[in-house]
Structure 1
Amino acid sequence: MSRSVNDDCSGLANLAYRKRGLSLMHDRPIPGEGGVASIYRKAKALGALHDKPRPGDLVFFRETYDRNRDGRRNDGLTHIGVVERVERDGTVTFVHRAGGGVKRSKLHLTRPSLRRDARGRVLNDYLRRSEKVARPRLAGELLAGFATVDKRWFTAP
């Protein structure tokens, strides 16, 4: 990736917009706040959050892993991607960094807990692995929202 951003999902999202002069991270960091939460906080402050995705939007997820390693689902926003495509049936394809690489995954807006449709087509990819006490979770189940990235995100050098 790049040495100037985190080597994670928030770093990939930042790189996607950097060449256009857009900065995703909040100007006032909060100690201990993760990159995803910082970006979401900025999106909220800018009025950029919404629930109808378009290509180029950010997509946020919650509880994709145990960030604070306490064994409970209390980690809030933990993952981010960039929407690549939205199909008429509600399938959203997004690009994100996970498992050490850049991946393309899917989530479905109206069938969030269905892995495949009747024809076997993937509607939702897994974003959280199975655990001793819980089944794996699909992208649609962990969806927290979308944000438009536009000129509001511009930060002068």
Structure 2
Amino acid sequence: MKRAFLLCALVGGLLLNSEAEAARYASPGPSARASVSLSNRAVTRASLWVGLPSLKRVSRSVNDDCSGLANLAYRKPGLHLLPERTLPGEGGVKAIHRKAKSLGALRSRPRPGDLVFFRETYDRNRDGRRNDGLTHIGVVERVEADGTVTFVHRAGGGVKRSKLNLHQPSLRRDAKGRVLNDYLRRSEKVPRPRLAGELLAGFAAVDARWFTAL
């Protein structure tokens, strides 16, 4: 009974996005153990939001988009996914990736709680060409032995749970009909990469390094 009560209190705090609640449930200072706790909390938060039509149901203090979800999932006093300054024409996804690179946090093999980046998921500059670079971000929820990665992201229609496969990025389903890669870009007249695995740009760990610099 006590555990159920605490779980309800945690969920309520996350959905109301109270800063006081965020501080209350924050793990202790940055350390190896705290980094694992930080990732677990980000996964728990993002998973709770799957199915919501808008992040406004959780908070109005972040953009209602993919970078807003990432920032909200990792919200903690002193932690900043975005750098102190963004470059001209730089979107939130590119800015977060740039900071991850500067911190040495990028990696090719994912773990639950990592950030996952994608490129060319839509025509951001509306010029009809595939020259937009990094355009989408999510939070890794689960990594399976066969290379299938489940991630949570804010996409068209709301917060969703989707999949990509590290070993078969261009295959929609396997021989048993199991989804390996979800679509991340709308269909176009000329067939081009649209599956999550095809548009994957890498991963980044969010840990103690993110507390040390803006």
Provide TM-score, normalisation by structure 2.
0.70
Structure 2 counterpart of 1:89, which letter? D
- Give yes or no for contact 2:119–2:135 (8 Å, CA) kept in 1: yes
Name stretches of at least 5 consecutive residues in structure 1 with no aligned partner: none
Among candidates 124, 128, 133, match of residue 71 of structure 1 = 128
Q: CA deviation at 1:42?
A: 0.3
For 2:100, what is the secondary structure of its paired residue? helix
- Do residues 39 (structure 1) and 96 (structure 2) align? yes
Q: Which residue of 1 aligns with 2:17?
A: none
Q: Which residue of 2 aligns with 1:13?
A: 70
Give the Cα–Cα distance (whole angstroms) in 1 for the partners of residues 139 and 110 of structure 2: 10
Q: Which residue of 2 aligns with 1:27?
A: 84
Greater CA radius of gyration, 1 or 2?
A: 2
Give the Cα–Cα distance (whole angstroms) in 2 for the partners of residues 9 and 87 of structure 1: 23
Q: CA deviation at 1:129?
A: 0.8
Give the Cα–Cα distance (whole angstroms) in 2 for the partners of residues 132 and 69 of structure 1: 16
Q: CA deviation at 1:91?
A: 0.3
Where do 4+ consecutive residues of structure 1 move more than 4 Å? Answer: none
Q: CA deviation at 1:155?
A: 6.0
Among all aligned residue pairs of Structure 1 and Structure 2, give the percentage whose two residues are the same amino acid.
85
Greater helix content: 2
- Do residues 103 (structure 1) and 151 (structure 2) align? no
> What is the RMSD of the two structures over their aligned residues, measured on CA atoms?
1.6
How many residues are treated as equivalent by the alignment?
157
Give the Cα–Cα distance (whole angstroms) in 1 for the partners of residues 89 and 60 of structure 2: 20
Greater strand content: 1
- Give yes or no for contact 2:193–2:199 (8 Å, CA) kept in 1: no
For 1:127, what is the secondary structure of its paired residue? coil
Q: Which residue of 1 aligns with 2:147?
A: 90
